[in-house]
Structure 1
């Protein structure tokens, strides 16, 4: 019997099993709750609108009378989806502004400071 395959050490004791997964540190912090809620809403709206668009295409190909109402719902869903995606962007910006996320000055801002700095001979 092969010692490596039977799951035992050479001294006869069973080998310890390796864990199924190892936890890795997160590189980015978790999104704030309001931003995450807006993102979930936006993803649900995108999924619903995509489903409506596919239904409109299939109903049009089938020649069904339901194609027009579903097409109208798809247009309304597109407007709602655009609103939802913009809501994520605005919520993220508002959260950053209210909670004081430090921004790095751009190179143009550094250049303007450098130009205003007094020069000594």
Structure 2
């Protein structure tokens, strides 16, 4: 029972509110509150009958992805880059803390952080290069007017035509040259 139903104005507002208190429900609305016996819950359900059926909502609703999934090589490079950047940040933090504590480990950690920064930069650039290479090889097919799709269609047409020509030549050879117009 919602708030609007609970506070309806009627001739006897107090009686309406007390009736609401007698039929208290848990916040989930379809689960009776504590203190209600199974018999009382059954009476309430039979009284409501077909008027009000509990609506069961799913826990979550699957929505279609907004973007297509990244290609496997690009995703692999991205995971590698994230791991490298995480290790680099961890090393930088340890180097900073060792420096602040005056530990002997500070200098080696600073050197390894510098080397790790170079490697992490390479990892991030690798994602970008891998993505560019994948797009160049496979084309971007997200839009119907994609040039890659048109090029593939053209190549398919050329291959079909080449196969048809090859079949025709093989047929002529099998007949022993009967299909030739001149014998030169």
Range class of TM-score, shorter chain: 0.7 to 0.9
Gaps of at least 5 residues in structure 2 are 1-21, 32-44, 141-145, 148-184
Runs of at least 4 residues off by over 3 Å: 3-6
Alpha-carbon deviations, 1:14-55, whole Å to 9, x = none? 624211111111111000000000000000001000000000
TM-score, L = length of structure 2: 0.51
Give 1:4 deviation, angstroms.
Answer: 5.9
Structure with bigger RCO (C-alpha 8 Å, 6+ apart)? 1
- CA positional deviation for 1:3: 7.0
Structure 1 gap segments, 5+ residues each: 104-121
Match of 1:28 in 2: 67
For 2:102, the equivalent position in structure 1 comes to 63
CA distance in 2, matches of 1:60, 1:18: 55
1:19 pairs with 2:19: no
Corresponding residue for residue 75 of structure 1: 114
C-alpha separation between the residues in 1 aligned to 2:99 and 2:90?
14
TM norm structure 1:
0.76
* CA deviation profile, 1:80-106 (whole Å, cap 9, x unmatched): 000000000000000000002246xxx
The answer for the alignment partner of 1:51 in structure 2 is 90
Structure 1 or 2, whichever has the larger Rg, is 2
